[in-house]
Amino acid sequence: MDVTVVLPSLNPDEKLNAVVDGLIEKGFTDIVIVNDGSREDRLAPFERAALHPEVTVLTHEVNRGKGRGLKTAFEFVLENRPRSKGVVTVDGDGQHTSGDIKKCAERMLAEKDKVVLGCRDFDSPNVPPKSRFGNKTTSRVFSIFCGMKISDTQTGLRAIPREFLPLLVGIKGERFEYETEMFFAMHKHHVSWVEEKIETVYIDDNSETHFKPFVDSIKIYRIILKFIFKYTLSSLICCVIDIGLFNLLNFLLAGSEVLENIKIETGIGRFFVRIFSGGNDAIALKVLIATVVARVISSIVNYILNRNAVFESESSVKKSVWKYYLLCFVQMICAAAGVFGLSALFGGGEVLEGLVYKPIVDVLLFLASYQIQQRWVFR
């Protein structure tokens, strides 16, 4: 098969050569193993594997992480394997069966332009509870905050067409977080993926994994949660701009002779004047102008920040700007309706509406708006 198997390994035991033997039996003729700075007493498995003509062993003098190991192998394939149509990344601890590896490779060749993810079933009884909880939680976080539906976010079995290797070589991440960064790069650059169900294998409750639950989980979730952090920061910045401009314009327009000489005669205008300014036309106009100008400017800033910094969207301004302002309009209506509805259901009053109902509605709309902007406005 014109597919290269990539196998990063650190301090392996005899299971490494069992994996290599299984791959050769399944017909793989190009296996690239990366020794990621293993100890002297763990070099024998690499030496035995290198005796096979199908195996090439690359070596890091010091441990540099799984991500760096994968990128080292990808670079090697791009430079030295011109006929290889893609790679299949696997773990060397026996958790990926040779049959599943071949199945993913064959599907990649059939799909041609899609990455194939070998996904495990975490409802299987042999899955350790901490692995089941961790993987399911991460999948939900991916879906909610990143807009990506992946049933096995930590799978090491990935079949990747050659055309995507230059992209993946260039992304950041040197250790386990690299595999998470890979998903974000694929999502951003419109690289499609499909899932292939594979056997769920855990050996000794995954006791020999080099994954550090606390440290590596922090790195992974830091990548995921940076989106909601940037979205929150963007909203806060624009809130400050909105309030600051409103107060500045409110101050500058105070006592304006031009506004003092304007009379509002229309029905809607008189209603606004009566409700918000006690019948004073100049005050009503001052508040209206300050509100509209501040909101327009802050919304433009928010649109620019969300498009370019938060969601890093490549969608055209023409396609996304009308969606953004439609969402703003609907969100404004929903905010008023939400406060009114809660007041009608549970009792009203200015204190409850201002200090309880409005914050609840605004938080819900804030989260809903994030989802809509991610999945529709800046898709």
How much is the pLDDT for 345? 79
How much is the pLDDT for 102? 94
pLDDT digits (tens, 9 = 90+) for 186-213: 888 888 899 999 887 765 544 445 445 5
Question: Does residue 31 sit in helix, strand or coil?
Answer: strand
308 & 344 share domain = no
In whole angstroms, give the CA distance from residue 119 to residue 334: 40
Domain termination residue (choose one: 211, 245, 263): 211
pLDDT digits (tens, 9 = 90+) for 111-136: 888 999 998 877 766 666 666 676 77
Structure token pair of residue 98? 């040779």
* CATH at 52: 3.90.550.10
| Higher-confidence position of 167 and 318 | 167
Task: Give the C-alpha distances (Å, rounded to integers) separating 297 from 238, 248, 313, 334.
Answer: 9, 13, 21, 22
Domain membership of residue 218 (yes or no) is no
327 & 249 share domain = no
Residue 271, Cβ neighbours under 10 Å: how many? 11
Domain termination residue (choose one: 211, 226, 249): 211
For the chain, give the number of residues: 379
60 & 158 share domain = yes
42 & 85 share domain = yes
Residue 341, Cβ neighbours under 10 Å: how many? 13
DSSP 10: S
297 & 327 share domain = no
290 & 322 share domain = no
pLDDT (average), residues 146-154: 78
User: Is 70 exceeded by the pLDDT of residue 251?
Assistant: yes
pLDDT (average), residues 20-41: 92
Domain termination residue (choose one: 176, 211, 246): 211
Q: By C-alpha distance, which of 333, 322, 320, 101 is closest to 201?
A: 101
In whole angstroms, give the CA distance from residue 208 to residue 15: 11
In whole angstroms, give the CA distance from residue 46 to residue 11: 10
Domain membership of residue 232 (yes or no) is no
pLDDT (average), residues 154-167: 92
266 & 244 share domain = yes
How much is the pLDDT for 129? 67
Domain membership of residue 166 (yes or no) is yes
User: Is 50 exceeded by the pLDDT of residue 273?
Assistant: no
How much is the pLDDT for 270? 45
User: Is 90 exceeded by the pLDDT of residue 167?
Assistant: yes
How many folded domains does the chain comprise? Answer: 3
297 & 151 share domain = no
186 & 269 share domain = no
123 & 255 share domain = no
Q: In what order do the strands lie in the sheet with 193-197?
A: 55-60, 31-36, 4-9, 86-89, 158-161, 115-119, 193-197
pLDDT digits (tens, 9 = 90+) for 294-349: 888 988 999 999 888 887 777 788 888 999 899 888 887 887 777 777 777 777 66
Q: 100, 198 in Cβ contact below 8 A? A: yes
Most confident of 44-48, 141-145, 228-232: 44-48
Range of the domain at 85: 4-211
Domain membership of residue 18 (yes or no) is yes
How much is the pLDDT for 360? 83
